[in-house]
Amino acid sequence: MKRSLIYSLILLLLVIRPIDIEAQAKGSFEVTPLSAVATNSDEFAPVIVEDGILFCSNRKTNPFTTHKNFEGIRLYDLFFAPFDEEGKPGKAVKFTAGLGKNTNIGPAYLSPDGNTLWFTRNYLEGTKLKKNQPNNLGIFTARKQGSGWTDITPFRYNDPSYNLSYPFVSSDGKYLFFASDMPGTLGKYDIFMSENSNGEWGKPVNLGNSVNSADAEIHPFLHSSGRLYFTSDRTGGQGGLDIWYSVSSAGSWSKPVVLSDPINSEADDFAYYAVSNGQEGYFSSNRRKFSDDIFRFATTIIRWSNCDTLQKNSYCYEFVEEKAILGDTLGLRYRWEWNFGDGTRASGIRTEHCFAGPGVYDVSLDMINLVTGGIEKRQASYELEIEDVEQPVINAPDRVTAGETFSLNAGDTYLPGMKIARYYWNFGDETEAVGIDVSKSFPVPGRYNIQLIVSSEPGAGGVIREVCVCRDIEVVSNGN
C-alpha cells in the first residue's frame, strides 16, 4: 500500500515549490533495524502499545494462500510483536482477524485504554471488488470485545471518492489527525484534524500551509512534547520521504523542522513514533533497499534525569538583632547601627543589605545612645562568608527568538577543587554541544530545558566526577 502511494507521489513531485527549511542540528541517535520483525516483505508504521508494537506488513502468513490485489501485490495487514523481558519487540504474529476480508488493513492506532482500534482499510473488501474498480482507503474503528474486535464503524467523514488514512488520536482522545486527499487538500496528501466535541467528531480541518505543502504529508504523530511529527516528500529533506515536525503555538503551526540523520536518510524514512520522553522510538525506512523495514532509534545524547536547577547567586542578606525588644515600654533610647564591613552602614533592629559579591565580611553592630549621643562600638559582630553556589553556571539569555543564534557560556562555573575536563551541553531538543563557550539556534518556539554537565579529569582511582545543572530558555517566534 505504501509502495503504491510512493509511486503515485513520485509522479506528483513535478510540482515543487521552494519553502523555508529549518534543519535540525545533527542528531545524536543510534538507529538499529528491528531484526526480530524483519522479513523480505514490508514492515512499517509501528505504533507502541502497552506490551508490544503494532505495525503494518504484507508478509506472507500462509504458505498455501496468498491474498493479492489486482496488481499482484500482497495485501497489507496488522501484526503485533510483543515486548520481551528486555522490552524489545519479539516475533510478530497477525494482530487479529475480522477487520476486513481481502483488503488492505493498516496502518492503525490503538487507544491508550486498548479498547478502540483506529485503522485504515479499503472501503470495499476484496470479495466484492471488480478489476479497475476504484477502492480508496478509509478510516475505521473497531471495539475490543474479549480477545476479538467488533463494531467496525467507518469514520463519519469517510468518502469512497477520497483516501483517508493514517489515523492518530491525541492522548486525551480529543483530536484525530489523519492524512487525506479529500477536498481542501493543498497538495497531494495533507494532514487534517478533527475535533471531538460531545462525542461527535467535527468536520476535518486542514492543518494549513505550515504543515502541509504542495507535496504529500502523511503519518501524523502528535508527541506528548507537543510536536506533530509527520512524513513528507517536500523539498528540504534528505531525499524521498523524510520525517518532519511542527509545533502548535498560539493557534498556528510552526515552520516544520526536518529530523537529521541518522533518522532521515536519502531513502524513504517515514512513520515516526516515539516514547513520551522522546529518547527512543521507531520509524520505517527502505534504506536497506530490499523492502520497508522498521528501525528503532535511541538517543545517544547524555541527559540527566535528576539535574539540579541552576541557582541564582544571592549576595543579599537580612540582618536581625534577635534579642531586641520593642513593644513593652515607651520606646527605645538606643539606635542599632550596622556596619556591613564593606564601607556601608544601616540603622535598625532589622535591616537588609546586598553585598557586591563573594567574600568575607566583618559585620558589626554599634549601639548609639540617643540620650548622650555616645557610640558603643562593636557590641556584636558576625563574620559573614559569602560564597557563590558550587555549581556549573549557564550564562545565556532567558528569552531568544526562534532562528536566532545566541551564545551560551559556562565561564562562571564555581566548583572549587574540581579540575574540569569537559563542558557538555544538552539543549533539550535532541541536540548537544561541547565547550565552555557554545552557540545555539532553536528553530521552533517553545520552552527548552538546557542541561550543562561538567566532568572532571580522572581523579584517584580514575574516578570522574560529574555535576549537572539545568535552566529553561524561552524561544519565541518572530514578532513575539
Partner 1 sequence: MGIENAMKTIRTKRYLKFLVILLLSGGPGIVLSQPVPGPDENIPYLITFGKDSKTSWGDDDFSQTFFFTVPKDFKDPFYIRIFDPEIGGKTDELNNFWNTRTLYSVYGGRGCYTNPDAKGITPGGNYKSGTLLASRVFAMENKLDEQWYTFGPFNPADGEYYPKFSSNVFKIICDGLAGDDGNLYRYFLSRRPDTNIPIEGANAFTYEYTFRMWNNNDTSYVSHIYPFIDSGCIYIKQKNFDWDNDGDFIVVSTERKGQKLPLSNEDNWTDFNMPILDAEIGKSLDFRFYKRRGELVRNNNVVMSVENQYGENLQFFSAPIGGVPVYRPRIKATKK
Site residues for partner 1 per CB under 8 A: 314, 316-325, 328-334, 336, 352, 354, 363, 365, 367, 369-372, 374, 379-382, 384
State in angstroms the smallest separation of the CB of 367 from partner 1. Answer: 7
Q: How far apart are CA 279 and CA 252, in angstroms?
A: 26
Question: Which CB sits closer to partner 1, 8 or 381?
Answer: 381
In this complex, which beta carbon is closest to partner 1, that of residue 360 or of residue 464? 360
CA–CA separation, 37 vs 43, rounded Å? 8
302 versus 367: smaller Cβ distance to partner 1: 367
- CB closer to partner 1, 50 vs 362: 362
Q: Which is nearer to partner 1, 130 or 323 (CB)?
A: 323
Q: Which is nearest to 440 in space by CA: 476, 479, 409?
A: 409
Nearest Cα to Cα of residue 4 among 137, 161, 138, 168:
137
Cα dihedral 281, 282, 287, 289, rounded to 10, equals 150
* In the complex, minimum distance from the CB of residue 428 to partner 1, in angstroms, rounded to a whole number: 30
Of 106, 118, 150, 135, nearest to 284 by C-alpha is 106
Query: From the CB of 412, what's the least distance to partner 1, in Å?
Result: 19
CA dist., res. 387 & res. 384, Å (int): 10
For residue 357, the minimal CB distance to partner 1 (Å) is 14
Q: What value does the CA radius of gyration of the chain take, rounded to a whole number of Å?
A: 31
Is the Cβ of residue 244 or residue 361 nearer to partner 1 in the bound state?
Answer: 361
Containing 2, the helix (H) or strand (E) segment is: helix 2-12
- Rounded to a whole number of angstroms, the minimum distance from the CB of residue 378 to partner 1 is 10
Q: Which of 145, 89, 159 is nearest to 115 (CA)?
A: 145
Task: Find the shortest distance in angstroms from Cβ 351 to partner 1.
Answer: 11
Q: Which three cell numbers stand for residue 84?
A: 520481551
Q: Is the N-terminal amide bond of 262 cis, ω within 30° of 0? A: yes
